[in-house]
Amino acid sequence: MQPATCSADGGLAAAVDVHYPATGGARAAAVLAASATFSPILAERVVAVDAVVPYQPGAFYLRELPALRTVLAGQEDLRLVVVDGYADLDSHGRPGLGARLHAELGIPVIGVAKSAYRTATHAIPVLRGTSSRPLFVTAAGMSRDDAAGLVRHMAGSCRLPDALRRADALARRPG
């Protein structure tokens, strides 16, 4: 698969992450690019969310979605979102964070997880850089194979694509 722009009409790709400081609330970050390879980065956004629901096993999306909605608000030209986590949680399509975000936005969402989830046997392992540990790729709104190909071609020589690493760093940064 050749890396390409997100769409013929110049839409943007966003890589997003959320961090939960010990002081409470959340910080969400988005890294925006015109290419699904995230090279070059065009913009970065960070927002603080004062109140978040407590973590609930099996319902991670309840905690994460409000922060992602906030950081992506007003970004009408999105054509792809990449999340740190799973799009769907099993081979039967049980929705995870990415599938729920896809349902809200109506655009493809790629899930890039750093660890294997016991029921996500359908996730495609992707090796990047010199790492011997795979990322686990799932998708909503596009095929898993196409999503895995995009993740392989994303900018950066490390295991985790640069855009996701940057979104994580921005979300964790105090401020």
Query: Cα separation of 29 and 173, whole Å?
Result: 10
User: Angle between the 60-72 and 97-105 helix axes, to the nearest 10 degrees?
Assistant: 40
Q: What is the per-residue pLDDT for 1?
A: 31
Query: Cα separation of 49 and 6, whole Å?
Result: 29
Whole-angstrom Cα Rg for the chain: 15
Q: What is the per-residue pLDDT for 161?
A: 98
> Regarding beta strands 41-49 and 26-33, do their DSSP bridges make them parallel or antiparallel, or are they unpaired?
antiparallel
Write the burial class of residue 99 (CB in 10 Å: 0-12 exposed, 13-18 middle, 19+ buried): buried
Task: For residue 109, give the H/E element and its range.
Answer: strand 109-113
Matching residue, tokens 């989830």: 117
Q: Which two tokens stand for residue 127?
A: 């090796």
Count CA within 13 A, CB hemisphere, residue 77: 12
Matching residue, tokens 């686990």: 136
Residue ranges and CATH numbers for the domains of the chain are 12-172 (3.30.2170.10)
Mean pLDDT by 10 residues, the chain (175 residues): 42 96 95 96 96 82 93 94 95 93 97 93 95 97 98 97 98 89
